[in-house]
Structure 1
């Protein structure tokens, strides 16, 4: 029986945590409670302002904030539709009652009634609107929820009312609900099937839960240094739950194997940490480095997401190599307690020589692929390329009211306003420029914009009180999500404004233009982030498996699987294939941050699975010198643990579809698809086929003599991978 390094730092850590298990557990419990109280009680509020940087919309926003302070703060928009017209006595009574209720709220400022301003009403008097300023920038969504309820309750068959605006959408969005709980339950079922023991099932879950609570609390504290948007916590919980359970799964699996080989609990704990723990540390560092690749995007909030999610991965990794060994000290030989009856009978039987020689289904499948490697690789590659093809038409944007569930007041407001004032009412373009005095004349610029195809109408210009800036608003004839709106913004910037008298210094801003700028900046920087993440991950993988060829294979295969996941997202979200069935009410562009966030997470996870598989293959190759045998045995030895780990990830990511956040749903769907593809097409078909085709070239490394394989190492690479 091969031995592991029992004198290294990990071995000493394992012995300490095992022997001082009560101290370690108490430290973790006290630490988690303390961090949770501080983090959840006093953590930083989320920051959802994706503007900033050097984009034109960011400069326009800065100018407006400096010279038009009265325009700051959130607003709500009340949309009204009366079948008999808003002047019908019954309709007017109902509408004025709602207006009075909104005006009496402590969180709203002065507003204009549509009965006092004809510009707020359509020509046929059937549709009206009014803007309701919120009195304080710090208004909470819970304070806006009663206003939404008031408007919804007043609607009936004759008068329809809807309350729109960012805070109205937030107030109506329900909490995440049972999504994480369902994911946790699914993970428990998978672990119970894999281990056949309630005790073995519970250890990864309890370890992951304690780590997630501490990690989420730390994420809120980190928000003071690098702020992140509100989806960071949901996304962090999803990633933390997946990797936390997976990391503990690898260590518990190795511990159980060591007990079966005859080790005592302490020796098994040391071996598990010096083998699987080594792989967990590599896996965690890989994911963290991949996540920090988001910093390359140069976006303030995405940097916050990168740092915050890296924190939760680090906490789960630390829990796996400290807290879990302490738990193993408490369980000892009882790790297999409360087993399934059929497993209990099988688990007590000794492993005979004949059973060791019996080929597993995974090994037989690898042999089938290896007999026709060209066909297998071609078919698998073709499937991945077909799935990835829709990626070429990917469009990026931010969700707006048009893609909200149709029973929400914000969607009702959007529909009424689009019908009465055009779909571009929710996509205003704010033009601003510096001027010399209050007498500055922007009329030629306004006229040029008003006469541009795609502009529905434009407001008269107005100058700031200090006489240093002027602004006006134009409304497109197309909606927020329409590609034509983005094209219009470019036309205004590139053609219309430069050719209008005094228009060269006019900036185009507003939420719509900001979304377009962020999406285009993200798309342009995405290749750089991909290149950085791939380069760093390849260096780490080369150092671990000592092969340039395998590192290149891993990079290409990971790109194919992630590209396929991107393609599936485009087909479902943007093209609308099966969208309603998966919780997407309408076809929409892909949310800007989703591809950025998906790539580092998935590349890191894919590299983890690659390490677990290739390390075992490498160990078998050094033992036999035959690539075909090494691949078949390596696949057989890792198939169960990788399948269980992937199944847990898929279950956790898929449950995001149960939540209310459209963007988080997109990310969860994409990552679930990517892990599924990686665990099936890539690991089960592409890897054995490609490695069969490369033969001994798989192990090419500059400076290494290729005469014959090196003798078996004292420390098994299988053990380094923990499988």
Structure 2
């Protein structure tokens, strides 16, 4: 068996595409610029607005919402809530003057309806008359952020001299939430530093960044256009930007690395470009396809908005893939032989001895000497990190978990003090009735007697006499586990046992958030199974080994479980939460775990492909698993480390932003990538492959282990594919 093989001539469709883009680089670059600018103009100018309505389906809250929308049209509009706390009481002359001035400003706004003063309605004031509230209806359902911002500012400015005012409501929360700010910029700057250190050249550093930014701009604009067909919530753009920036730079990193190696081997710029795209580009297309397939696993959740998220994020990934194999070859054509220009100054060093092994290779040898102990220790550590996931609770964030300097949090605090923690999250009951004379008092009284209910409002009959509604205020807040228990008790015991309560539905934002969380929890295992099965099938087809595919799936599940566990410990338990920018301990946002899993599983499979494909190539050459693992790890360690560092930097910068949900997904994904690039790739992979030996290469229908004449990665490229993913090949 020969230790040397002649790499095949780069030909095929991808090589031809690379040569075309290299030769027609001005045309390709112009097409990309014109196309992205046109899509950006259409997307940002005429794109669909975000849709944050997670209700729907067949849950009790969805049925209640449909009844209310059909029979109580006057309750469709959004509202704001003004909360007032006066140290000397609201009847103090100075306090009253201040409060009435604010109410007059709110009432005079063109986007608000009539405002009832707490001085006119005693039910809006606590018994000690220190705390008051009032509701401000919004007459314009399409009221923009700019319409509500002056109202929030007016309320904030009115506080002082013993009077504290806060404006709550979903629109108020959005109006005072600052933009994402410098988070993406910090991530981009950090990625640039990592690339500069890795490549040692400003020109080589700039290519991945230029490619990624162009792709992200086009991808986000397409997301807004696709929103007309498949609506998506407002966090989709932030998540797509994080993912697109991370994988866009990583994919370009792999291709530029292979281009530089080909140039060092003597290829001319065009030949090096063709070789890079035919090998690294092919692996990038497979990796991106894996991420897209994993993302589309969100469709099985049955949530229309999560389907929108899946399609929108997939669009961004697809654009980055296309940019990597078309725009990047054109940019390589412009740089040509100047790829290493503007180099980082380095001190001269003595040439390395050929016998001296790379640090990653020496580390792999250490792990392989005690593979069982290494696998047990690493696996146990990941299971310990994953343990907190058993206590994970899901919910949607409300004003109680916002930063304490927000007006919405001030409103929540005042209302909780004066009217109870459940005032901001009432349960809304709705039922069909036969006539306007229907009597719901037995149901209302049964609900009012239920433990955990603070107060109940009288029932209201719709104008058409076909529906009735009333509200109940829990003693606990929306984020408390006791509130979810209360909703279940009402549905399972109280309402069925009350006369006429069998057809009453429990709804409202509070119950809706509980229903969504439970629906996600019940469907999450199905999504995980679908994503794992599809990814396994792709990986088996690529590496031609069932054993390695199963190893990859198990290791990916362990790293993702560890990320979930750390997320629960930080966000839900509050460990280091304040240091990482979380205002208070809170449940995990409902959509975060189901969004994290397909993204992380797809990204983990990327690193698996880049490592295992190189190991497979070395095994094809040597026939020895131990040697193949050590050399494969050594050849891929540098580029995988750089790629992981870029991902971690990009995801971690979300902690600098204002959105607590985006912070959660950024933290979870950064932890998962770190664990995957360290514990999994550096310990578990060499240890488990050493334990499995020749069984690593088992494939049904193949009688013996792989041999030197068998092409690795059949159907996905030549044995050069795996050799493209690292820098500094020896």
Q: Same fold (TM over 0.5)?
A: yes
Question: Which piece of structure 1 moves more, 372-381 or 708-717?
Answer: 708-717
Instruction: Map 1:150-161; keep pairs closer than 5 Å.
Output: 150-161=154-165
Counterpart of 1:689 (choices 687, 690, 706) is 687
Find out whether 1:286 has 2:281 as its counterpart.
no
Find out whether 1:722 has 2:724 as its counterpart.
yes
Q: Distance in 2 between matches of 1:227 and 1:707?
A: 49
Is this contact kept in 2: 1:279–1:721, CA < 8 A? no
Corresponding residue number in structure 2 for 1:141: 145
Find out whether 1:405 has 2:400 as its counterpart.
no
Cα RMSD (Å): 1.2
Counterpart of 1:493 (choices 488, 491, 494) is 491
**1:340: how far off?**
1.1
Instruction: Map 1:371-386; keep pairs closer than 5 Å.
Output: 371-386=369-384
Corresponding residue number in structure 1 for 2:644: 646
Q: Distance in 2 between matches of 1:494 and 1:469?
A: 22
**1:355: how far off?**
4.5
Counterpart of 1:457 (choices 455, 458, 471) is 455
Find out whether 1:427 has 2:425 as its counterpart.
yes
Q: Quickly say closer, same or farther: Cα 1:627–1:21, change in 2 above 3 A.
A: same
Q: Distance in 2 between matches of 1:50 and 1:324?
A: 39
Counterpart of 1:55 (choices 56, 59, 66) is 59
Q: Distance in 1 between matches of 2:353 and 2:39?
A: 49
Corresponding residue number in structure 2 for 1:243: 247
**1:5: how far off?**
4.8
Q: Distance in 1 between matches of 2:705 and 2:151?
A: 78
Counterpart of 2:190 (choices 173, 186, 203) is 186
Counterpart of 1:216 (choices 214, 220, 229) is 220
Q: Helix, strand or coil: the match of 2:579?
A: helix
Q: Distance in 2 between matches of 1:279 and 1:452?
A: 60
**1:558: how far off?**
0.1
**1:333: how far off?**
1.0
Q: Quickly say closer, same or farther: Cα 1:550–1:708, change in 2 above 3 A.
A: closer
Q: Helix, strand or coil: the match of 2:699?
A: coil
Instruction: Give a deviation string over 1:113-143, Cα, whole Å, max 9, x none.
Output: 1001111000111100000000110001111
Q: Unaligned 5+ residue runs, structure 2?
A: 726-730
Corresponding residue number in structure 1 for 2:389: 391
Counterpart of 1:276 (choices 263, 276, 280) is 280
Find out whether 1:22 has 2:31 as its counterpart.
no
Corresponding residue number in structure 1 for 2:104: 100
TM-score if structure 2 supplies the norm length?
0.97
Find out whether 1:13 has 2:17 as its counterpart.
yes
Instruction: Give a deviation string over 1:395-429, Cα, whole Å, max 9, x none.
Output: 00000000010011100000000000000001100
Q: Distance in 2 between matches of 1:708 and 1:69?
A: 69
**1:157: how far off?**
3.8
**1:707: how far off?**
5.7
Q: Distance in 1 between matches of 2:234 and 2:332?
A: 36
Q: Distance in 2 between matches of 1:699 and 1:713?
A: 13
Instruction: Give a deviation string over 1:152-189, Cα, whole Å, max 9, x none.
Output: 11101411100000000001100010100000000000
Counterpart of 1:299 (choices 277, 293, 303) is 303
Q: Quickly say closer, same or farther: Cα 1:581–1:384, change in 2 above 3 A.
A: same
Counterpart of 1:113 (choices 113, 117, 120) is 117
Corresponding residue number in structure 1 for 2:728: none
Is this contact kept in 2: 1:78–1:132, CA < 8 A? yes
Q: Helix, strand or coil: the match of 1:341?
A: coil
Q: Unaligned 5+ residue runs, structure 1?
A: none
Is this contact kept in 2: 1:165–1:410, CA < 8 A? yes
Instruction: Give a deviation string over 1:543-567, Cα, whole Å, max 9, x none.
Output: 0000000000000000000000000
Instruction: Give a deviation string over 1:420-460, Cα, whole Å, max 9, x none.
Output: 00000011000000001111100000000000000000000
Q: Distance in 2 between matches of 1:368 and 1:318?
A: 40
Q: Helix, strand or coil: the match of 1:577?
A: coil
Is this contact kept in 1: 2:617–2:722, CA < 8 A? no
Q: Distance in 1 between matches of 2:669 and 2:473?
A: 37
Corresponding residue number in structure 1 for 2:563: 565
Q: Distance in 2 between matches of 1:708 and 1:231?
A: 47
Q: Helix, strand or coil: the match of 1:524?
A: helix
**1:630: how far off?**
0.2
Is this contact kept in 1: 2:428–2:508, CA < 8 A? yes
